[in-house]
Amino acid sequence: MRFVHDTLPQRVCFGSGEAAANVGNEIGNLGASRVMLIAAPAESDLADTIATHLPVALRHDDVVMHVPVEVADRAREAAAQHNVDALVSVGGGSTTGLAKAVALTTGLPIVAVPTTYAGSEATPVWGLTEGAKKTTGTDHRVLPKVIVYDAALTMSLPVEMSVASGLNALAHCVDSMWAPNADPVNAAFAAEGIRSLAVGLPRVVTDPMDLDGREHALYAAYLSATAFASAGSGLHHKICHVLGGKYNLPHAQTHATVLPYVLAFNGPAAPDAERRIAAAFGATSALDGLVALKRELNAPRALADYGFAEDSIAEAAEAILPSVPPSNPRPVTAADLRALLRAAWSGADPETVF
Ligand code: NAD
């Protein structure tokens, strides 16, 4: 066995019902006294529960998915005007993403309080959108100094969004198995993430207030993002990156829909990954495990349901092709991508596509 693995410097506090106290302590540890508290309107009540323990200089709720540059600019100006010295984000990946955009140009430390399973909090990856083009980059200034996980804050996440977001986390795990920097450490995180999501998500669907189910999903979200941060973007993320940026598709639902087709395509060419994913699901094959879980969760099925048009398939395939990692377990042609996208567009049975 031979590998090089980077571990990112981050403190992680996990405790249900403890977010307010943990964020207060961590802001104290950072020596901050003028906090910019970022939370979208839907996350405002959650942020209220945390604000009471903080020296808040500014609350900011102008959050938009995929962080349009003008939204980032407004947040940066507000941070400068109020002379803030730390950022606290309470919300999903869009909110974390806005805090990252501010940190990217200011170097301000972030304490991230995630309320979905998107996992942005554990990566040094930022994203900005200009027009229909999403640009991402890696910069250690945007990696939150501290993550405060509190599963009680995820109880209000609607079941449909919980499922889509949980499958976004699952996609981090699966893609980490063959991404350019895949190694045994991130594969171990990914496998445990799959196992924990397969335990937690069905419980969340049965009872959205099941704290144990929510904790399993949130713990898995952290593992999945840590695996993804270290392994990098594989074929699945390259596909979803283009679909999200170019066609403004919803992030989590796009990941949830595309994943089985990427697994059907890559799985047979990646026997180790196939075996580990299957074992994590406790299934006879990786794809069987994923398909059965998606069925149980009544998960997003077809890109057509989210506004992706059939006549965009060829154009999207051409846009994705140059970004396919050369290390993908099998070569990828434009025709392969068209077949994959057509199947994902219609929600075809993934077992029959390749
Ligand atoms: P989101 O943050 O847009 O949240 C979806 C919706 O749920 C929003 O309306 C939000 O306000 C609401 N919401 C969030 N938490 C809630 C809660 N607990 N209760 C009720 N409502 C709640 O969606 P997302 O899927 O979490 O994040 C997607 C974004 O994150 C995309 O822009 C994606 O590119 C980015 N992302 C980045 C990385 C990275 O490493 N940089 C990783 C994953 C996702």
Per-residue model confidence (pLDDT) at position 219:
98
Distance 342 CA to ligand 1 centre (A): 26
Per-residue model confidence (pLDDT) at position 346:
98
Question: What does the alpha-carbon distance between residue 142 and residue 105 come to, in Å, rounded to a whole number?
Answer: 9
Question: Is the predicted pLDDT of residue 280 greater than 90, yes or no?
Answer: yes
For residue 83, give the 3-state DSSP assignment. coil
Pick the CATH number of 11-154 from 1.10.10.1100, 1.10.240.10, 3.40.50.1970, 3.90.930.60: 3.40.50.1970
Give pLDDT tens digits for 90-131: 999 999 999 999 999 999 999 999 999 999 999 999 999 988
Per-residue model confidence (pLDDT) at position 131:
82
Q: Whose CA is nearest to atom 11 of ligand 1?
A: 42
**Mean pLDDT, residues 215-227 taken together:** 98
Distance 226 CA to ligand 1 centre (A): 17
CATH architecture, domain 159-352: Up-down Bundle (1.20)
For residue 91, give the 3-state DSSP assignment. strand
Distance 273 CA to ligand 1 centre (A): 28
Q: What value does the mean pLDDT of the chain take?
A: 97
For residue 81, give the 3-state DSSP assignment. helix
**What is the DSSP code (8-state) at residue 232?**
-
Which amino acid is it at 232? G
Per-residue model confidence (pLDDT) at position 148:
98
The minimum-distance atom of ligand 1 relative to the CA of 65 is 32
Q: Among the listed ranges 133-137, 287-291, 324-328, 338-342, which one has the minimum average pLDDT value?
A: 133-137
Question: What does the alpha-carbon distance between residue 161 and residue 45 come to, in Å, rounded to a whole number?
Answer: 18
Per-residue model confidence (pLDDT) at position 186:
97
CB contact at 8 A, 350 and 292? no
Every domain of the chain with CATH number 3.40.50.1970 lies at 11-154
Give pLDDT tens digits for 247-275: 989 999 999 999 999 999 999 999 999 99
**What is the DSSP code (8-state) at residue 41?**
G
Q: Among the listed ranges 4-8, 195-199, 235-239, 315-319, which one has the minimum average pLDDT value?
A: 4-8
Pocket of ligand 1 (CB under 6 A): 40, 42-43, 46, 65-66, 91-95, 97, 115-116, 118-120, 123, 125, 127, 153-154, 156-157, 161, 165, 168, 251-252
* Helix spans in the chain (H): 19-30, 44-51, 69-81, 93-106, 159-176, 184-206, 211-231, 235-247, 251-266, 271-281, 286-297, 313-320, 334-346
The minimum-distance atom of ligand 1 relative to the CA of 126 is 41
Structure tokens at 31: 């020596």
Question: Is the predicted pLDDT of residue 133 greater than 90, yes or no?
Answer: no
The minimum-distance atom of ligand 1 relative to the CA of 127 is 41
Residue percentage of the chain with pLDDT more than 70: 100
Question: Is the predicted pLDDT of residue 345 greater than 80, yes or no?
Answer: yes
Per-residue model confidence (pLDDT) at position 245:
84
Q: Whose CA is nearest to atom 21 of ligand 1?
A: 157
Every domain of the chain with CATH number 1.20.1090.10 lies at 159-352
CB contact at 8 A, 55 and 33? yes
pTM: 0.96
Give pLDDT tens digits for 293-310: 999 999 999 999 999 999
